[in-house]
Amino acid sequence: MTQPAELPAPEELVERLSAAMVGAFDLFAIYIGDQLGYYQALGEASATSVQLAERTGTAERYAREWLEQQAVTGILTVDDPGKPAQDRVFSLPANYRDIFLNPTSPMAIAPAAQIFVGAITPLPAVLDAFRSGGGVPYADYGADLACGQGSINRPMLANRLAQEYIPAMPDIHAQLMSDTQVRVADIGMGLGWSSIALAKSFPNILVDGFDLDERSVQLAAANAQAEGVSNRVTFHARNAGDVDFAGKYDFALAVECVHDMSNPVAVLDAMRRLVGPGGTVLVVDEKAEDAFNPMGSESERSLYGWSILHCLPVGMVDQPSAGTGAVMRPETLRAYAAQAGFQQVETLPVDNDSFHFYRLTA
């Protein structure tokens, strides 16, 4: 029996799990505040519950409960807690504005709340999947999962993909910077922020994004339009693992999606064919540790959480499935790449707490 001695005492475990429930309430309350425009309204001006309700078209009694919850949990300040409830003025502290109001800030938290809500949306179907061994379609997680997923990666993609991660491949960076037109395929692009970030940074490239999820494709097209790059970025509803999936691209990438795929080898094989012999594919995927360890890190705990609620169920939809899940270890990705016919896999030396950056050479 090799169970480590460091398991917490029963009381400690219960304390930790009870604190987790309070933390979950915080995220759900943030979801409510974000969806109803409460943070936006408070960002414009401090408010009483009456004012907040008026400005957002919501009911005062609910607005008041939310404001009090936000003050008690340490997000909002209140001018005088001794005033009658409806006269208290609540404010969003200036140094919290980025957290709640700036979608491209690395500190933006609303996306985490939204994806969390999305992840539990089809919970009964997830239970069924556990019983049957089947899967839960990505679309069944609803707009919250798709939008939360897009928004959670948006700051990294907007601020670091073209600026730090692509330059870790100097030859690809030079190619994307060149005056000649370069074609990029973005596989499983979700809401399209990776394609949009590349198009904004490299003015001569054309990007095709491919994703199975129709809702994501539509939302991505709207994002490209709003960001002014829809003339060079096109999104397609396609299964990148289809046998007839073809094209000719100078570079292809897949951000945080290979582990979600029922057949990751088929998709990687298609990507290898898209870039041709010697071409480069960049796979950005979860920074799982090298091996299973029962005393795993906080990030490994988080990956397993996402995996049981979402990543494994979506990956089990098409059978037979590789059944990868969020905890895709480097060795697993290397094995998939080898089966898909890649010559080489290099882990890029980039600074990122959440993702590995695998450069695959066709």
Ligand X SMILES: C[S@@+](CC[C@H](N)C(=O)[O-])C[C@H]1O[C@@H](n2cnc3c(N)ncnc32)[C@H](O)[C@@H]1O
Beta bridge partners of 359: 282, 346
| Beta carbons of 220 and 212 less than 8 angstroms apart | no
Please pick, from the candidates 73, 91, 218, 239, the single residue that binds ligand X as defined by CB under 6 A.
Answer: 239
Is there binding between residue 340 and ligand X (CB under 6 A)? Answer: no
Please pick, from the candidates 153, 223, 321, 332, the single residue that binds ligand X as defined by CB under 6 A.
Answer: 153
- Please say which residue, 175 or 194, places its beta carbon nearer to ligand X: 194
Taking CB under 6 A as the rule, which mask of x and - marks residues 105-144 in contact with ligand X?
Answer: ---------------------------------x------
User: Is 47 strand, coil or helix?
Assistant: strand
CB pairs under 8 A, 24+ apart, for 37-45? Answer: 38/63, 38/66, 39/92, 39/100, 39/101, 39/110, 40/101, 42/76, 42/90, 42/91, 42/92, 43/92, 43/97, 43/100, 43/101
| Beta carbons of 221 and 229 less than 8 angstroms apart | no
Q: How far is the CB of 227 from ligand X (least distance, A)?
A: 15
Please pick, from the candidates 78, 189, 309, 328, the single residue that binds ligand X as defined by CB under 6 A.
Answer: 189
User: Is 305 strand, coil or helix?
Assistant: helix
- Please say which residue, 41 or 217, places its beta carbon nearer to ligand X: 217
Closest CB to ligand X belongs to which residue?
190
Helix axis angle, 142-156 to 214-226, nearest 10°:
40
Q: How far is the CB of 21 from ligand X (least distance, A)?
A: 26
- Please say which residue, 62 or 355, places its beta carbon nearer to ligand X: 355
- Contact range with ligand X by CB under 6 A, out of 42-50, 186-194, 198-206, 321-329: 186-194
Strand order in the sheet with 182-187: 233-237, 205-211, 182-187, 251-255, 280-286, 355-361, 344-347
- Contact range with ligand X by CB under 6 A, out of 47-55, 122-130, 188-196, 273-281: 188-196
**Lookup: tokens for 212:** 């199975």
Q: How far is the CB of 32 from ligand X (least distance, A)?
A: 23
Taking CB under 6 A as the rule, which mask of x and - marks residues 199-218 in contact with ligand X?
Answer: -----------xxxx--x--
Q: Which residues contact 329 (CB under 8 A, 6 or more apart)?
A: 288, 289, 290, 291
Residues 250-269 that bind ligand X (CB under 6 A): 255-257, 260-261, 267
- Please say which residue, 51 or 321, places its beta carbon nearer to ligand X: 321
Neighbours of 189 (CB within 10 A): 29
Angle at 27 between CA 21 and CA 29, to 5 degrees: 100
- Contact range with ligand X by CB under 6 A, out of 81-89, 147-155, 295-303, 342-350: 147-155
Is there binding between residue 70 and ligand X (CB under 6 A)? Answer: no
- Please say which residue, 65 or 140, places its beta carbon nearer to ligand X: 140
**Element housing 124 (H / E):** helix 123-132
Contact footprint for ligand X (CB under 6 A): 138, 149-150, 153, 187-190, 194, 210-213, 216, 239-241, 255-257, 260-261, 267
